[in-house]
Amino acid sequence: MHVGIIMDGNGRWATERGLPRLMGHKRGANRVKNIVKASSELGVDTLTLYAFSTENWKRAAHEVEGIMKLFRGYLQNNFAALNANNVRVCFIGDPTPLAADLREQMDALTNLTKNNTLLTLNVAINYGGQDELVRAMRKIALKAVSGSLLVDDIDADTISAHLDTAGQPNPDLIIRTAGEMRLSNFMTWQGAYSELAFVEESWPEFTVEVYTEVLADYRSRTRQFGAVILKPAKVSNKA
């Protein structure tokens, strides 16, 4: 089962309590540890966390700097634990604008955990679904121009194979915290048939108990993928 989470509401959680917004992001980083740990126990084998979007650069410079500092700290503090817990870590998004030392940490963690099998953790940083599609189209276009790919052979599978999540299953469920009801450029292609769950709790309040309830609700649904599933007609006992 693949779950994607839009971790929203960190800043608002802090503001509502009279705290600096970065305190909310710090609380949210701590929440990640709980949710990653619980995921495999709850039957999730792929977890994608929306950590920083391509649009988040528009925030105040000090907030962006603070978020990147927290991200560095998370990688440093959890480097060994993620590997010891058999978690395979992947990063999706365009890493180009990130600081060189941060990219080095990301590469090191990716290589260290590449053979782990319990849980695949995708961290979406400088990620946007539209940007991902643009980058995929450029890769496909280059192959078409070079002649290694025929235009008539381009199909949905071709596009999927050139996305950041190539080789991974599409998300079964996308969760967004903090009550907002939109996907905000998250997994635009992959989420075409994902089930959606919008919860009122902000990300710092998204406990394992809430996570468990959301997954239970998902498992009670019937996924049709555009088809019509007919239920057997009831047979009357009347003569």
How far apart are alpha carbons 218 and 225 in whole angstroms? 15
Q: Quick check: is 56 catalytic? A: yes
In the prediction, which pLDDT does 237 show?
A: 59
Q: What is the DSSP string of 148-169?
A: SS-GGG--HHHHHHTSTTTTSP
In the prediction, which pLDDT does 234 show?
A: 61
pLDDT per residue of the chain (239 residues) written in tens, 0 to 9? 999 999 999 999 999 999 999 999 999 999 999 999 999 999 999 999 999 999 999 999 999 999 999 999 999 999 999 999 999 999 999 999 999 999 999 999 999 999 999 999 999 999 999 999 999 999 999 999 999 999 999 999 999 999 999 999 999 999 999 999 999 999 999 999 999 999 999 999 999 999 999 999 999 998 777 766 666 656 555 54
pTM: 0.91
Q: Quick check: is 111 catalytic? A: no
Q: Which residues pair with 197 in a beta bridge?
A: 175
What domains are there in the chain, each with its CATH number? 2-127+171-219 (3.40.1180.10)
In the prediction, which pLDDT does 224 show?
A: 77
- Taking Cα atoms as reference points, which of 236, 103, 126, 122 lies closest to residue 190? 122
Q: Which one of the listed residues 30, 34, 56, 77 is annotated catalytic?
A: 56
